[in-house]
Amino acid sequence: MAIIVDRDTRLVVAGLTGSEGRFHGLRNRAYGTNLVAGVTPGKGGQDVEGVPVFDTVAEAVSEAGANTSMIFVPARFAPDAIYEAVDAGIQTVICITEHIPAHEMLRVYTYVRPKGVTLIGPNCPGVLSPGKANVGIIPAEVFQAGSIGLVSRSGTLTYQIGNELAQRGLGNSSIVGIGGDPIVGSSFIDILEKFEGDPETEYVVLVGEIGGDEEEKAAQYVADHLSKPVFSYIAGFSAPPGKTMGHAGAIISGSSGTAAAKKDALEAVGIKVGTTPTEVAELVVAAAA
C-alpha cells in the first residue's frame, strides 16, 4: 500500500506534447508509472512515443481509463487544467506548474476541496511511492522502498533527506511534495492523515520552512491524532525577516513564521527536530534501530 499514487495509478499528463511534460511524463513511465494518455487541445489523435494524446481530459478518462492527472502547462492555463481534470472525474491531481497567482489558487482550492479530490501542488515536485509509481519530477533513483513517509514543502530538501535515509539503509513508503506557494491543494495535515492510515508507513518525516503557520498546525495535529513517530527539519534559520527565500510562501511576517518558532512548536509536542538534513536522517535511524 502507498498513499496518493501506486500501481493502480493511470496517469494522464496535461501538456504531454510540450518539452517538459514529455520529458517528465516519459521518465515517470520508464519508472513504472502507468502513463495512459496525454491531453493537448487541438492535438488529439497524435501520440507521444506510443502514448495517445486527446483533446480533453474527459476523453482520456472515458477512452484510456485515466484516474490521475499531472499538470504540466503554463501558469496561465494551469487553473483551467485543474478544473477540467476535476470535472472529468479525476480523483488525484498533481500540479507541477509554478507561478500561479495566489488569487487564482484560492478560487481553485475552494472549487476542488468540497469535491473530495486530492490536489497536490502547485509549484511542487509531485509524489513518489518507491517501487510503485512516480508522478512528477522527483529523482526516484535516490530513493528506495521502505517504511518512512516523507512530506515536504521543499523539493530539493526532500531529495536530500531521502538520499540520506537511503544511504543509511532506510527507505520510504511515499514521498509527497506539497509545494511552496502560499495556497496549495493539500496541507501537511492532509498528508499526515493519509500516512496515519497507511499500514506500510511506520515513521514520518516532515520538512518545513519559514513562512506561514502550517508547521505549527501540523504539530498540534500530530499531538492530537498521530500514533506514529514524527521527525522534522525546518529550513530558514538564518533567513532575514520580510525577505522571500526560494518559495513564494517562504516569507516571515513580523515575528510569526520563523524557523525557531516552528521548531519550538514541533518540539513542544515531542517531535524531534534536526538542525540539518543529515541530523534528521540520523534521528530516524536511531529510532528505527
Q: Is the pLDDT of residue 230 over 70?
A: yes
C-alpha 261/C-alpha 249 separation (Å) is 16
Active site residue ranges: 247
Work out the mean pLDDT of the chain and round it to a whole number: 92
> What does the pLDDT read at residue 250?
45
Grid coordinates in use for 218?
501540523
CB neighbours (10 Å) of residue 162?
30
Q: CA-CA distance, 256 to 52, in Å (whole number)? A: 49
pLDDT higher than 50, residue 179:
yes
C-alpha cell at 52: 495517445
Distance CA 212, CA 118 (A): 22
More confident residue, 11 or 210: 11
Tell the CATH superfamily of the 1-122 domain.
NAD(P)-binding Rossmann-like Domain (3.40.50.720)
- Grid coordinates representing 77? 492555463
**Identity of the highest mean pLDDT range in 110-114, 214-218, 232-236:** 110-114
Q: Where in the chain is the domain with CATH 3.40.50.261?
A: 139-289
pLDDT at residue 243 is higher than 60: no
Assess contact for 67 and 10: CB atoms under 8 A: yes
Average pLDDT over residues 261-271: 92
Give the model's confidence band at 192: pLDDT under 50 very low, under 70 low, under 90 confident, else very high.
very high
For domain 139-289, give the fold: Rossmann fold (3.40.50)
Domain with CATH 3.40.50.720 in the chain: 1-122
Those residues whose C-beta lies under 8 Å from the C-beta of residue 140, and which sit 6 or more positions away, are 31, 128, 130, 134
Residue tagged 495509478 (cell numbers):
9
pLDDT digits (tens, 9 = 90+) for 16-44: 999 999 999 999 999 999 999 999 999 99
DSSP E strands in 162-277: the ranges are 172-177, 203-209, 230-235, 272-274
Query: How is residue 278 written as a grid cell?
Result: 543529515
